[in-house]
Amino acid sequence: MNAPQTPRQQLILGQVLHFLADPGEDDSANSYEYFPDGALWITDGRVAGIGRRTEVEANIAPAVRAAAEVFDYSGKLILPGLVDTHCHYPQSAIIASFSRQLLDWLNDYTFPAETAFADPAVAARTANWFLDRLLAHGTTTAAVFSTVHATSVDAFMAGAEKRRLRMLTGKIMMDRHAPPALCDTVAAAERDSLALIERWHGKGRLRYCVTPRFAPTSTPAQLTLAGELYHSRPDLHVQSHLAESLDEIAWVRSLFPAARDYLDVYDCHGLLGPRSIYGHCIHLSPAETARLAETGSAAAFCPTSNLFLGNGFFDHAAAIAAGIRVGLATDVGCGTSFSLIRTLNEAYKVSQAKHRPLPPLRAWFLATLGGAQALYLDEFIGNFALGKEADFIALDPRSTPELEFRLEKTDDLAQILFALMILGDERCVAATHVMGKPAFQRRTTAV
Ligand code: GUN
Ligand code: ZN
């Protein structure tokens, strides 16, 4: 018999911040805990203590403390790992491609790029590259679109498993209005999805996400299958796109004339409910807004993508006020950055265009606990509640000369967080830890 292993213990020192609830439009002080001279105590990859450094250390036996691994991030903010609620790893190499409209973008760049993922070597190389870049940008969990090819899911899941990441992905289901090389059939989608669910769903920290690309590229029969798959096992997720552009909405209306609205297409096929998330949701009717909220479906706010394609301004404050779970998303490669910090900058500008500015505490809530709640993963991640998986980042709020100069005369948390989201980017991510272990350490500070 093997001797029981000694638990792996880690002490993390720094300015610890996490959210307990949505700070709302007034940045409620009851919604978060902040320990400027703080510490996290981690046992076997899970949070075992959080608070003021002196108090956390006082609770640890001296011999245990002496044997623990210590990471001193003094002067840096320790936040839960960032959560990207909608992105496409196979589009990594087409980010920043000039385009006019959503449907042109899909035809001109997305479909040709995704066709290459029939090759497992392309899928493996891109998946591993993408996962490493996520970590360098401080993102530890994401809801990710693969391609129609089962091997694209295998490559991504294998890469995420190797890095012990909590990740969601699924094979795109698409049986019409796409090049033949990218189309499956109802039967093939069922066979491949079931095999992938068997292989990956619930393996370690991985979950499978049923992924009909969007209403126009699936026949009603395939959407019916997607709904059946979603309900076929506990804890399966659903991701798709909704109401991103006006042309897309008109197309959906012509393809599904009996549906009350765009959302109704998904609703009629059993695709709304807990663990479902829809990218964009810009042009929603009051009925669609109410139905998303009532069913517990979530919206992924993709500001860089929406600005890039000129599709409009998502009203995050109205959506949250209506009771919709909202997460933040890069939407790489329509989105213009892998960084959720840069994404917050654009989210703020979009919120200003809607005359409901996104305040800094709510912003960082959306990038952490809010994203975890939108994905229904908050029992595992999103904050430092005791027992949660210890994915976290160390952010250096003075990592660039501009931030340093801006923050010279303040140690006010809201000001620091706001400056970080407007002036900051991936250069602020000094380190990323997954289940306590360092997964990324920035070598140099860029100037
Ligand atoms: N709608 C359907 N597919 C896509 C996609 O890949 N990107 C974006 N932005 N919108 C979509
Ligand atoms: Zn998308």
Q: Taking the domains of the chain in order of start, what are their residue ranges?
A: 9-80+383-441, 82-338
Whether the pLDDT of residue 7 is over 80: the answer is no
Nearest CA to ligand 1 atom 3: 213
Whether the pLDDT of residue 4 is over 70: the answer is no
Whether the pLDDT of residue 250 is over 70: the answer is yes
Superfamily of domain 9-80+383-441: Urease, subunit C, domain 1 (2.30.40.10)
Q: How confident is the model at residue 266 (pLDDT cuts 50, 70, 90)?
A: very high
Tokens for 181? 């090389």
Whether the pLDDT of residue 16 is over 90: the answer is yes
DSSP string for 118-180: GSHHHHHHHHHHHHHHHHHTTEEEEEEE--SSHHHHHHHHHHHHHTT---EEE-EE--SSS-G
Cis omega (within 30 of 0) for bond into 333: yes
What is the three-class DSSP state of 350?
Answer: helix
What was the pLDDT predicted at 99? 83
399 lines ligand 1 (CB under 6 A): no
114 lines ligand 1 (CB under 6 A): no
What was the pLDDT predicted at 444? 72
- Closest ligand to residue 334's CA: 1
Nearest CA to ligand 1 atom 11: 241
CA of 144 to the centre of ligand 2 (A): 9
Tokens for 182? 């990218």
What was the pLDDT predicted at 343? 98
Q: How confident is the model at residue 291 (pLDDT cuts 50, 70, 90)?
A: very high
Nearest CA to ligand 1 atom 7: 334
Q: Are 339 and 425 in contact (CB under 8 A)?
A: yes
Q: How confident is the model at residue 210 (pLDDT cuts 50, 70, 90)?
A: very high
Whether the pLDDT of residue 6 is over 80: the answer is no
**Cα(428)–Cα(110) distance, rounded to whole angstroms?**
30
Superfamily of domain 82-338: Metal-dependent hydrolases (3.20.20.140)
C-alpha torsion sign, points 81, 86, 90, 95: negative
Regarding beta strands 237-242 and 276-280, do their DSSP bridges make them parallel or antiparallel, or are they unpaired? parallel
- Tokens 């552009």 belong to residue: 245
Which residues have a beta carbon within 5 Å of ligand 2, which is an ion? 279, 331
% of the chain beyond a pLDDT of 70: 98
Q: How confident is the model at residue 100 (pLDDT cuts 50, 70, 90)?
A: confident
Is residue 354 packed enough to be buried (19+ CB in 10 Å), middle (13-18) or exposed (0-12)?
middle
Tokens for 190? 């069922």
Whether the pLDDT of residue 431 is over 70: the answer is yes
**Cα(425)–Cα(402) distance, rounded to whole angstroms?**
12
Instruction: Tell me the angle at which helices 186-200 and 150-162 cross, rounded to the nearest 10 degrees.
Output: 10
Contacts of 337 (CB under 8 A, 6+ apart): 304, 330, 343, 425
**Cα(50)–Cα(38) distance, rounded to whole angstroms?**
8
Average pLDDT score over residue span 403-432: 97
Whether the pLDDT of residue 1 is over 60: the answer is no
